[in-house]
Amino acid sequence: MLLLLNLAERGARPSDRNRRLHRTDRDDLPPCLGGDRSPLDPTRTVGMAETSDPGSNCKHGCHFGLCPYPPKGEVTYRIELSEAFCRRQQALIGGGSIWRRGAPWQETLTGDLKQFWKQMGQRAQSAELDRDQAAARRARRLRRT
């Protein structure tokens, strides 16, 4: 659910966010969440690709128009998923849990799903490091003044 909201609730214009949210009001999931997650491209950063506009990386025939995942570094109204959350998702897939083969609605191969959550965890880890480094710089500036 968090991934779906992060995909839909982005962008500066409320009308665009509302339109994307309306497209998610269905009984099925986008192909990127129920199947192959590669169109989400969670390793993408601001300035890395020519466009990160919602719908620019969707699989052919997708009616949701949400991919790719918002690039790291983009100003957003939603927070990044934490590294701990992503690592837990990865562990649930590979561990002794009932989801070791994925959720019943999940058509993604287990290895692909683990790779996706690993990339999301690395993304979150680098975001947390960026925040820590910025806080350290602010603290050094305050000590000098």
Q: Please report the pLDDT score of residue 120 as a whole number.
A: 93
Task: Report pLDDT digits (tens) over 16-58.
Answer: 989 999 999 998 899 999 889 999 999 888 776 567 889 999 9
- Residue spans of the domains in the chain: they are 1-79, 81-145
Q: What's the pTM?
A: 0.73
Q: Which residues contact 93 (CB under 8 A, 6 or more apart)?
A: 99, 100, 102, 110, 113, 114, 117
Measured distance CA(125)–CA(122) in Å, rounded: 5
Phi and psi at residue 45, in whole multiples of 5°?
-120, 165
Burial label, 134 (beta-carbon count in 10 A; 0-12, 13-18, 19+): exposed
121: confidence class by pLDDT, cuts 50, 70, 90: very high
CA angle 93, 104, 68 (to 5 degrees): 70
Q: Which residues contact 129 (CB under 8 A, 6 or more apart)?
A: none
Phi and psi at residue 103, in whole multiples of 5°?
-70, 155
Residues above pLDDT 70, as percent of the chain: 83
What is residue 45's three-state secondary structure? strand
2: confidence class by pLDDT, cuts 50, 70, 90: confident
Q: Is-contact 30 64, C-beta < 8 A? A: yes
